[in-house]
Structure 1
Amino acid sequence: MPAPLENLSLRAQLRVDRLPLRLGALFVGLTGFGISIAMLIRAGLGAMPWDVLQVALAERTGLTVGTFIIGVSLLVLAAWIPLRQHPGIGTLANAVWVGIAADLALAVLHAPDAPAARMALLLSGIVLNAVSSALYIGAQLGPGPRDGLMTGVNRRWGLPIGRVRLGVEVTVIALGWLLGGPIGVGTVLYAVGIGPLVQRVLPFLTIPVRRGPQPLPGAGPGVTLPTGPQ
């Protein structure tokens, strides 16, 4: 049976079991996520939905794609306030590190010339994105800014997450397209394939939350802390 995904508060995340392992999985996942963004952009066959807008903004302003990934993430986090969403360790790390990782990868990756190589880069990027998403979600240290926006709308107004996600991403793609963002077969393949791929991989990469008292680091054997939602 797959391990359940917990909704841990920030306080609970700081006390959760195997925190170093979770932090390692989180940052490997976020790094891979940023690299996968660069792979889809360099493939030149269409970017991920949010990146259609972010690439368009970068091209129009001369700033880096990573700068807009970070900037849009912070704007989305501001939208959490009326939704009464609470960020976690992973939320804040996601908002900053994915953009940095994407810029670093874009600096070393180059667009291949052969159509077959472009398609291979695209498909590899989608698979890497799915594995990376499962890693940072499975670390159970808080959702990313965009995922939290959708779950927050669902919790506040009861709208189905699928419809919220569809509405948000269609809006983002439309804005990006109007600004000249890269829409193509890659955008469609990502939108159709990423959900099933993450669902398939996530059970293998989720780090379960152990119930019961956990030892306080550096304390004696009789000093423990509780884990789980607070």
Structure 2
Amino acid sequence: MRSTAGPRAPHPAPADLGPVAQLRAGRLGRRLVQLYVGLVAYGVSLGMMVRGDLGLAPWDVLHSGLIRHVPLSLGQAVVVMSFVVLLLWIPLREMPGLGTVSNALVVGVAADGTLWLLDRPDVLVLRTALMVGGIVLCGFATALYIGAQLGRGPRDGLMTGLVRRSGGSLRLVRTGLEVAVVVIGLLLGGAVGLGTLLYAVAIGPLAQLWLPLCTVRLPK
């Protein structure tokens, strides 16, 4: 018998909301839980890739290079660089939200906690599993915190702000930013490897795969 229910409604894309509208948009309890689960998972994924020791995500190449020259842990470097990036939002006139500030703080703390709990395995298979697992978890964590609709992360906001101001394509701006931070990270002695390349190729498709499922439907 043919169903009369009709097709399922598509999952919505994240809305472009201002800081106050993000908090007033409804379902705040669910969205806050999802936001912080996503940010903690993001920090855990960073720690997993570090312990895999097969290369880091582009921005983390920069962070790992920075800590070779200043007395900071990796998580502290993530926090410091997040606030440095937020200063670049000012001329771009980007507006931070609760998720933006939370991103700047929580990811670094979760990364340091993970590094405290995990040791670097000696077996290559285990290191590879940590690298791949970290990339997959990072893609899911990205979809979680973006889908909570409580503001972009500092680095995401820098990218979208540059796109809006320059009129360039998102892909071009993102690629340019990530190449720049990898080069600076390399000059500082950051950790580049197979994981860096795999992350660059996989993170976009992984986040796009899960984002429709993780985007919280907001009341109209």
TM-score (norm 1): 0.90
- Matched to 2:98, the amino acid is I
Unpaired segments ≥5 residues, structure 2: 1-9
How far residue 85 of structure 1 moved from its aligned partner, in angstroms, is 0.4
Residue in 1 that maps onto 2:7: none
For 1:160-199, what per-residue CA distance to the aligned partner results, in whole angstroms no more than 9, with x for missing partners? 1111111111010001111111100000000000000111
Correspondence for 1:63: 72
Task: Tell me, yes or no, if structure 1 residue 84 matches structure 2 residue 84.
Answer: no
**Partner residue, 1:122:** 131
2:168 pairs, out of 159, 164, 172, with: 159
- RMSD across aligned positions (CA): 0.8
Partner of 1:192: 201
The Cα shift of 1:2 comes to 2.2
Amino acid at match of 1:92: V
Paired with 1:89 and 1:156, the residues of 2 have a C-alpha distance of 23
Amino acid aligned to 1:191: A
Aligned residue pairs total: 211
2:108 to 99, 106, 111: 99
- Counterpart CA distance in 2 for 1:151 and 1:62 is 31
Name stretches of at least 5 consecutive residues in structure 1 with no aligned partner. Answer: 212-230
Name the CA distance, whole Å, in 1 between partners of 2:179 and 2:139: 20
Structure 1 stretches of at least 4 aligned residues deviating more than 3 Å after TM superposition: none
Tell me how far 1:117 sits from its aligned partner.
Answer: 0.7
The answer to whether the 8 Å contact 2:35/2:145 transfers is: yes
The reply to whether residue 23 of structure 1 matches residue 9 of structure 2 is no
Distance 1:62 1:55 in 2: 12
**1:180 matches 2:180:** no
Q: Does residue 37 of structure 1 match 2:42?
A: no
1:60 counterpart SS class: coil
Counterpart position of 1:72? 81
- Measure, in 1, the Cα distance between the counterparts of 2:161 and 2:26: 26
Is 1:141 matched up with 2:163?
A: no
2:68 counterpart SS class? helix
Cα distance in structure 2, aligned partners of 1:11 and 1:54: 31
- State TM-score, norm by structure 2: 0.94
Using the aligned pairs only, state the percent identity.
49
Deviations 1:67-118 (A, max 9, x none): 1101111011000011110001100100111111111111111111111111
